[in-house]
Every structure is written in structure tokens, then in C-alpha cells.
């Protein structure tokens, strides 16, 4: 059984949305953090889980899949300077296949597409299917959050 409501935490963060019977954020909701970063999307047992959108105070944002409070799965991370990574994430970090698009909308020469760990490309590979899945996950999060 879930209920809907809002709560302001002692640190200034605020949550409005669904709660489970044990008093944890669970279901669809919106969280505003003390630094004014915001999350819209799904929660499970208190943590961001499933599709969601995280907007950071500096203007950066992530649209895509979350697991246990972290970017995890497919998504699109766009920095405040409009540089973006479309691809795979694990435990809150870029991890796997994807594509970098620079602020000027180019991908670099040679193209920055392949296998990444953190901010480093380890191997150049064509991965159009992964890029498409990341875009679909981001679009799904935008349309459902």
C-alpha cells in the first residue's frame, strides 16, 4: 500500500510523491536537494531507481536509468557547457559503450565513439545500437517523469 505526500527534511531537501508503508520514498516522486539539484522519477525503498531525470545546480543533467540512487544502465548525460555522453553507465559513472558530442555538436576526429571507463575512452568502436538505446532511455525518462 502506498500513500502520496510531501516532506521537508532537516537539511532543507524536499520530497513530494509516493511513499511505501515503511515511510520510504517509493514510486513516482520529485526531490529537491539542498544545493537545488532536482530529481524527477521513480524511487524504490528511498533511492532513485528506474527511469528518471536529474538536473544539477550547475545546469548539467542526466536523463535515463537509475539503480540504487546512481546513474546505471542507459542514458544521456549533458554537461552545463552542452558537451554530452550518450551510452552506458554503471554505479554513477560512464562505463561501457557510448558517444561523446562536444559543445560545438561535433564528435571529434577521429570520432569519440567506443568503450569508455570514467572520462577515458579505452577503445574506438562503432556502437550505434547502444547510442540508440541510450537516447530511447532518455526519451522514456522525459516522457514519464
Q: What is the pLDDT of residues 98-142, one digit of tens each?
A: 999 999 999 999 999 999 998 799 999 999 999 999 999 999 999
Q: Which pLDDT belongs to residue 84?
A: 97
**What confidence tier does 1 reach under pLDDT thresholds 50, 70, 90?**
low
The parent domain of residue 66 ranges over 3-144
- The total number of structural domains in the chain stands at 1
Q: Which pLDDT belongs to residue 122?
A: 96
CA atoms of 100 and 58, how far apart (whole Å): 20
CATH code of the domain covering residue 19 = 2.20.110.10
Instruction: Tell me the pLDDT tens digit for each residue of 17-56.
Output: 999 999 999 999 999 999 999 999 999 999 999 999 999 9
Q: Which pLDDT belongs to residue 102?
A: 96
Instruction: Tell me the pLDDT tens digit for each residue of 80-101.
Output: 999 999 999 999 999 999 999 9
Q: Which pLDDT belongs to residue 118?
A: 84
Do the beta carbons of residue 100 and residue 85 sit within 8 Å?
Answer: yes
Q: Which pLDDT belongs to residue 119?
A: 79
Amino acid at each position: 500500500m502506498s500513500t502520496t505526500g510531501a516532506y521537508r527534511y532537516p537539511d532543507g531537501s524536499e520530497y513530494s510523491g509516493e511513499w511505501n508503508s515503511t515511510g520510504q520514498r517509493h514510486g513516482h516522486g520529485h526531490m529537491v536537494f539542498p544545493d537545488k539539484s532536482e530529481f524527477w522519477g521513480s524511487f524504490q525503498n528511498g533511492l532513485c531507481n528506474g527511469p528518471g531525470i536529474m538536473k544539477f545546480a550547475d545546469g548539467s543533467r542526466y536523463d535515463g536509468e537509475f539503480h540504487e540512487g546512481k546513474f546505471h544502465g542507459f542514458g544521456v548525460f549533458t554537461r552545463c557547457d552542452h558537451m554530452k555522453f550518450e551510452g552506458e553507465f554503471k554505479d554513477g559513472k560512464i562505463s561501457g559503450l557510448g558517444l561523446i558530442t562536444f559543445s560545438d555538436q561535433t564528435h571529434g576526429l577521429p570520432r569519440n565513439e567506443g568503450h569508455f571507463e570514467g572520462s577515458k575512452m579505452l577503445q574506438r568502436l562503432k556502437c550505434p545500437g547502444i547510442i540508440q538505446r541510450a537516447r530511447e532511455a532518455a526519451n522514456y525518462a522525459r516522457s514519464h517523469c
